[in-house]
Amino acid sequence: MGHFSDHHRSFFQLTIRQSFNDDSSLAVQAILAVSAIGIAFGSYVAGSMSKLHIELGIVPMGAMGIFFSLLFFAFGSNIGVVSLSSFAFGFFWRDIS
């Protein structure tokens, strides 16, 4: 499991290095941490919206949120946009899973 995590982090490092000309792993770790915070916050909001039972009505909202967050992630022009879209991806991920 740790091997996949290391591979995933190195892929992000390569993407950040090529896209933003930033060679530090701190930016990559910050983006992954922001995504984890988005997952935690999204879990709380999804649990509150569904009143702790399965609510299929929030699935389309989550799917649209993931679509737009990945779109902004792919075409993000600076590290702030990528970080915000990473948070949004984590937030909306909990709506559909």
Where is average pLDDT lowest: 7-11, 18-22, 46-50?
Answer: 7-11
Give the pLDDT of residue 6.
Answer: 56
Output the CA torsion sign for 88, 90, 91, 95: positive
Q: Which residues contact 27 (CB under 8 A, 6 or more apart)?
A: 16, 20, 79
In this predicted model, what pLDDT tens digit does every residue of 33-73 receive, in sequence order? 898 999 899 888 888 888 878 778 888 888 999 999 989 88
